[in-house]
Structure 1
């Protein structure tokens, strides 16, 4: 039996960018050909796309991890790495995307609607792109950025014009099957409907959709029974129809008390899409009441008795029978008129324009704060410093020196001095901690040195050509073989 899933938690991770290449062109008769390392390719993003052929979130239930491909690394000969293709993930119409804190990130309605769930990382620059007047042949390249990783919650909220609400076994599924071509499961036991059923209803030249959702019981707004599953799927409905069982034999049940119980649950429920499309809370939606099962004589008498008291609320009341089809045609055309009035009252959709938010001129792009876990230390936060940390190869002294130059030009060192940082104090950026040495002339002209080294750093362990030549001479004097 097919399984219906309307709420899942997924883990999305975009692809990382490819690393840049550190290469020097070597040709015959051209020993100093210059740097020719290419850039890394961009990582693929994870994009959610609405597909009308998808009706459930079942695939994510079994495969909650979604990973996009990474970009290729750069190569010598000024060859850039290939960019990875975006991973498009199909979701059903009406999917709402929430972050780990429950904030709504996107409401995906309409075929083809797209949302970038995780952005791919940018590729690292090769040494050809890093060459400058003072650093003519860089012996390093930048690493690619890591792809964005997020935990998202997907909720499916049925897209329908009319939502049928009522107690279990009130006849909602029978009503949908009688006024549309839908064939939901119908039985005489509670909670027969476990998943929403959609039906398309024709009224003259107009059509509208009707949703039959799981039955409601007192306490549904607090998660009792199938309440949350029920309430989630009527958030988009413009018209709510109370389907009341006038032939129920349960003690303490009558049409008026059933409607009051349903209204109390609607008022207690807080929609995720508050204010979506101008609908407002559930308590503000248009209402209609259907007194069902009047083919039973006692039910017809009860419907005639309570009809006027329910109509005093200002709601249209219809007495119907899905068995004999009595009263169905007036109900269908009345719902058509209510849906049409709602559609006409909606403002015309306005094309979204791109919003440009320039960065203020006094925004440094980073903050420096005292480290709460390490006395005398500081923590640097900011998109650019943290991205530069990920791009740096800390096994290469020249790359570390380039990082120091970038941080100095950004103003991190001046801010540390202003806050009273002492030499040797711990400075943490992202997940890397440094021993800060202000005497390092970061940001100044780079002194020419061997590739992969920086004379401003004392911790250089790279073996130079002169040292290797001296080592070979000593081995020959001892008679050793290389």
Structure 2
């Protein structure tokens, strides 16, 4: 089954907790703390693979999980880190969060992207030994792994996209010019999944995609809808295939242009070539009549070529025109890429953002990535661990700011989303 869009939940592994332990061996007096650090949680890494061509395996697998790190142990033994979970996806898969923000765009074979990061392991009490704290009786908890609700969307990466109304002959054309062998029949929506074919021309290989037929109103969900148009978002050039036997040839062309324009990304701006197909079924006089009507509708926007995909008539001139457009598009994109490289973009690193304090009644909420991380790793049941957190807050200036806000003795101080715990002022 061809599946090109799925929703999944990604859960990277949690970090292991640090250990609280003291060395107890014969003849060794005051052995000191020897609790090891927790292991790191496993990451989730997505890998682009040409061996995958659908997202069908995620139709029922709604969760992708990486193992958590193990807890530290005595004798300063670190916990084992969770193994990374590599998820293989088809080349052309775009991953977004539920707000539509792009997390990864897999555009080439073996491309790897760390999509969900495993949690950091907590430090054991051996880590906190110092000249002033010789017997620390606390350790850190491990950080939770990242959890992301994501959408995998497959957008095929083809050089040329074939679009046209049902039965315009797209499947016949892709069979005629390439190694593709799609199902061909004389009824609407014969093609229910995009077909791909490779065309060799001038020492180059162009990948063609045959997109399921459009109808008027596809952008409103009629017929197969316009969902399959996502597969030509990345194409360089489009071929508009028009059936020469149609009695409303100008309308057919306009429907294609309107539906491409109505798509969420205006696909009508892409370079295109128009092919008047099935001319072998018409007389010379009829061909010239239809060609004249179509050229008038197209104007100077694109070249119109009359062909017969079935008998391979004028296929070579069509491929030459397509190749010329692909080359022009590629050179233009390279110029844009060079211009963009010259730009220097300065952005604020959100991870370095400081803290903020919000007052709610007598209580306070402290937010900020760094302090929230310390709070998550703190065992709030352990007096020494809480004392360490307060010391960190003092060094960061948080305690001073709470004093300026007239925090009262016993006021509760929460962190982030309040799930980690609280301390009293």
Under a length normalisation based on structure 1, what TM-score does the superposition of the two structures give? Answer: 0.81
- Does the Cα contact within 8 Å between 2:376 and 2:420 map onto a contact in 1? no
- Corresponding position: 1:436 with 2:424: yes
**Per-residue deviation at 1:300?**
3.0
Q: Within 5 Å, give how 1:98-109 maps onto structure 2.
A: 98-109=96-107
**Per-residue deviation at 1:359?**
6.4
The Cα offsets for residues 59-118 of structure 1, whole Å up to 9 and x where unpaired, read as 111212100111121111111112222111111111111111012222210112122110
> C-alpha separation between the residues in 2 aligned to 1:67 and 1:356?
35
The Cα offsets for residues 282-333 of structure 1, whole Å up to 9 and x where unpaired, read as 2221111111111222663553342431452331111111222212121112
Give 1:267's aligned residue: 261
> C-alpha separation between the residues in 2 aligned to 1:436 and 1:139?
20
Give 2:14's aligned residue: 16
**Per-residue deviation at 1:356?**
9.7
Q: Which moved more, 1:412-421 or 1:62-71?
A: 412-421
Q: Within 5 Å, give how 1:418-433 maps onto structure 2.
A: 418-429=404-415, 430-432=418-420
- Corresponding position: 1:201 with 2:188: no
- Corresponding position: 1:346 with 2:333: yes
Which of the numbers 22, 41, 44 marks the counterpart of 1:43? 41
Which of the numbers 280, 293, 301 marks the counterpart of 1:295? 280
The 1:151/1:364 distance shift into structure 2, 3 A limit, reads closer
Which of the numbers 299, 316, 334 marks the counterpart of 1:329? 316
- Does the Cα contact within 8 Å between 2:243 and 2:276 map onto a contact in 1? yes
- Corresponding position: 1:368 with 2:357: yes
Give 1:245's aligned residue: 243
The 1:70/1:347 distance shift into structure 2, 3 A limit, reads same
- Does the Cα contact within 8 Å between 1:426 and 1:433 map onto a contact in 2? no
For residue 346 of structure 1, give the secondary structure of its aligned residue in structure 2. helix
- Does the Cα contact within 8 Å between 2:353 and 2:369 map onto a contact in 1? no
> C-alpha separation between the residues in 2 aligned to 1:121 and 1:433?
18
**Per-residue deviation at 1:131?**
1.0
The Cα offsets for residues 228-275 of structure 1, whole Å up to 9 and x where unpaired, read as 322211111111111111224xxxx6221111122122222223xxxx
For residue 62 of structure 1, give the secondary structure of its aligned residue in structure 2. coil
> C-alpha separation between the residues in 1 aligned to 2:4 and 2:140?
43
Q: Which moved more, 1:155-164 or 1:334-343?
A: 334-343
**Per-residue deviation at 1:432?**
4.4
> C-alpha separation between the residues in 1 aligned to 2:279 and 2:353?
72
- Does the Cα contact within 8 Å between 1:7 and 1:57 map onto a contact in 2? yes
- Corresponding position: 1:399 with 2:393: no
**Per-residue deviation at 1:149?**
0.3
Give 2:142's aligned residue: 144
The Cα offsets for residues 392-436 of structure 1, whole Å up to 9 and x where unpaired, read as 222322222222222222222222222232333332213245463
- Does the Cα contact within 8 Å between 2:18 and 2:37 map onto a contact in 1? yes
> C-alpha separation between the residues in 2 aligned to 1:225 and 1:323?
26
For residue 226 of structure 2, give the secondary structure of its aligned residue in structure 1. helix
Which of the numbers 359, 370, 384 marks the counterpart of 2:370? 384
> C-alpha separation between the residues in 2 aligned to 1:308 and 1:216?
21
RMSD: 2.4
Paired residues in the alignment total: 417
The Cα offsets for residues 114-168 of structure 1, whole Å up to 9 and x where unpaired, read as 2211011111101111112221111111111110000011111110111111112
- Corresponding position: 1:284 with 2:269: yes
Gaps in structure 1 of 5+ consecutive residues: 272-280, 438-482
**Per-residue deviation at 1:31?**
3.0
Q: Which moved more, 1:66-75 or 1:203-212?
A: 203-212
- Does the Cα contact within 8 Å between 2:353 and 2:368 map onto a contact in 1? no
The Cα offsets for residues 207-233 of structure 1, whole Å up to 9 and x where unpaired, read as 211110111122223333323322211
- Corresponding position: 1:127 with 2:116: no
Which of the numbers 8, 25, 28 marks the counterpart of 2:26? 28
> C-alpha separation between the residues in 2 aligned to 1:246 and 1:364?
63
> C-alpha separation between the residues in 1 aligned to 2:219 and 2:68?
43
**Per-residue deviation at 1:29?**
1.7
> C-alpha separation between the residues in 1 aligned to 2:70 and 2:341?
35
- Does the Cα contact within 8 Å between 1:310 and 1:317 map onto a contact in 2? no
- Does the Cα contact within 8 Å between 1:173 and 1:185 map onto a contact in 2? yes
The 1:100/1:316 distance shift into structure 2, 3 A limit, reads same
Under a length normalisation based on structure 2, what TM-score does the superposition of the two structures give? Answer: 0.91
The 1:359/1:418 distance shift into structure 2, 3 A limit, reads farther
- Corresponding position: 1:256 with 2:243: no
